[in-house]
């Protein structure tokens, strides 16, 4: 299903939890559409259908490069029989080995903290270049029992922004290992919708989210895994929640909301309408990193609203829309995209939310 506005696609999943879209199928179809090249940067790859799609791509001579988080391939303690399958994350290791046997370039991250990206650049050197990103890890949990989203953009300029980031990742030039500071990527017009991309830690996505929130005139809606008191986003929410100001409503993962470091209590006490989403009925996590501003601007991607995500981890946000847009058709397209995401936030709150 999903929604497609010009060259922008947006998906909300999974169907197993009542959402409209099968995220695993979306990712597999995207990979199956590759003709020349696939550059994959994802925290975890445990889904066999997604791995099979990558192998099919390689078998039809597509160049495939993959970067993964090391933690899901290692073991906490040395195994006494390391040649025998054993321990947690064995599916990750088997898929890792299969990709190598299929003659792909597979690397584990160079970041001592968390490699938290979730994106694929497809056919970056062609006019058919496309980008897939969002909050979804390529795992059975990520696509079937966590609430997540996927964004696909068919645009060579946007794909090039992510391809450059992938190139830097492959060179180890990011985080504390960065040899310089990357300039902010240009803003791109895609089918009349402004697209803005930022990578953490170089571009400080937290500050950009705070700036976007400060532009709100009426309301801010969100569905997020967590946010912490080390983030400035919670302070912005508190400031905007004062009586007579902006309506702030959102859902966050239930267990994350109970952590001592979370900002949930402070934000709720300030007047925000906050809902915790418990793990029940097959729901593992609310894993979105999703915000809608004035029913027109979407902030999506892999970025959790925390201090480590800002300072240490490899992350990205993608902003769809601009409140300053005056042209009627562009405003309508923004509303359609944001409306699809907002409908899912409404559903999450209605079906799963418990008032905090």
Q: What is the CATH number of the domain that holds 244?
A: 3.30.870.10
Final residue belonging to a domain, choices 151, 177, 203: 177
Q: Are residues 210 and 315 in the same domain?
A: yes
3-state helix, strand, coil in the chain (%, to 5): 35, 30, 35
pTM: 0.93
Both 173 and 226 in a single domain? no
Tokens at 25, concatenated? 């199928």
Kindly report, residue by residue over 220-254, the tens digit of the pLDDT. Answer: 999 999 888 778 899 999 999 877 789 999 999 99
Residue 183, in any domain of the structure: no
| Domain membership of residue 199 as a residue range | 188-355
Q: Are residues 322 and 301 in the same domain?
A: yes
Q: Say what the pLDDT of residue 354 is.
A: 96
Distance separating alpha carbons of residues 196 and 76, to the nearest angstrom: 39
> Checking DSSP bridges between strand 63-68 and strand 105-108, what pairing results, if any?
parallel
What is the pLDDT at residue 193? 96
**All residues at 6 or more sequence positions from 25 whose CB lies less than 8 Å from its CB, including other chains:** none
User: Quick one: pLDDT at residue 285?
Assistant: 96
Q: Which of 126, 146, 177 is the last residue of a domain?
A: 177
Q: Is residue 299 part of a domain?
A: yes
Check residues 57 and 167 and name the one with the higher pLDDT.
57
Identify the CA nearest to 115 among candidates 311, 317, 289, 313: 313
Same domain, 10 and 144: yes
Q: Same domain, yes or no, for 13 and 146? A: yes
Q: What HEC string does 56-92 produce?
A: HHHHCCCEEEEEECHHHCCCCCCCCCCCCCCCCCHHH
Q: Is the pLDDT of residue 112 over 80?
A: no
Binning pLDDT at 50, 70 and 90, where does residue 72 land?
A: low
**How confident is the prediction for the chain on average, in pLDDT?**
90
**Percent of the chain residues past pLDDT 70, beyond the cut:** 91
Is residue 88 domain-shared with residue 121, that is, in the same domain? Answer: yes
User: Do 35 and 144 belong to one domain?
Assistant: yes
pLDDT digits 0-9 by tens, 346-356: 999 999 999 99
310 or 28, greater pLDDT = 28
Please report whether residue 125 resides in a domain.
yes
Q: What's the domain count of the chain?
A: 2
């Amino acid at each position: 299903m999903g929604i497609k506005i010009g060259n922008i696609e947006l998906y909300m999943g999974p169907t197993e939890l009542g959402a409209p879209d099968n995220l695993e199928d979306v990712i597999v179809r995207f990979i199956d559409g590759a003709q020349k090249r696939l550059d994959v940067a994802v925290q975890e790859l445990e889904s066999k259908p997604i791995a099979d799609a990558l192998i099919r791509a390689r078998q039809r001579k597509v160049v495939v490069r993959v970067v993964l988080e090391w933690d899901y391939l290692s073991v906490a303690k040395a195994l006494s029989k390391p040649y025998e399958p054993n321990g947690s994350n064995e599916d990750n290791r088997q898929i890792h080995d299969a990709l190598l046997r299929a003659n792909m370039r597979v690397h584990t991250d160079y970041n001592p903290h968390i490699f938290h990206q979730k994106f694929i650049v497809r056919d970056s050197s062609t006019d058919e270049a496309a980008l897939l990103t969002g909050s979804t890890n390529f795992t059975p949990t990520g696509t079937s029992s966590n609430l997540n989203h996927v964004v696909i953009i068919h645009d060579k300029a946007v794909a090039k922004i992510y391809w450059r980031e992938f190139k830097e990742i492959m060179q180890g030039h990011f985080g504390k290992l960065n040899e310089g500071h990357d300039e902010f990527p240009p803003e791109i017009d895609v089918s009349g919708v402004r697209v803005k991309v930022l990578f953490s830690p170089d571009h400080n996505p937290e500050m950009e989210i705070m700036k976007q929130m400060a532009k709100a005139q009426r309301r801010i809606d969100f569905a997020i895994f967590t946010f912490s008191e080390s983030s400035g986003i919670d302070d912005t929410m508190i400031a905007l929640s004062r009586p007579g100001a902006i309506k702030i409503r959102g859902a966050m993962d239930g267990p994350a909301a109970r952590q001592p470091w979370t900002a949930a209590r402070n934000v709720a006490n300030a007047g925000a309408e906050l809902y915790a989403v418990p793990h029940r009925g097959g729901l593992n996590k609310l894993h979105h990193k999703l915000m809608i501003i004035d029913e027109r601007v979407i902030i999506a991607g892999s970025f959790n609203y925390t201090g480590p995500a800002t300072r240490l981890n490899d992350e990205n946000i993608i902003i769809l829309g601009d409140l300053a847009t005056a042209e009627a058709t562009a405003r309508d397209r923004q509303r359609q995209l944001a409306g699809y995401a907002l409908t899912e936030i409404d559903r999450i709150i209605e079906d799963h939310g418990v008032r905090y």
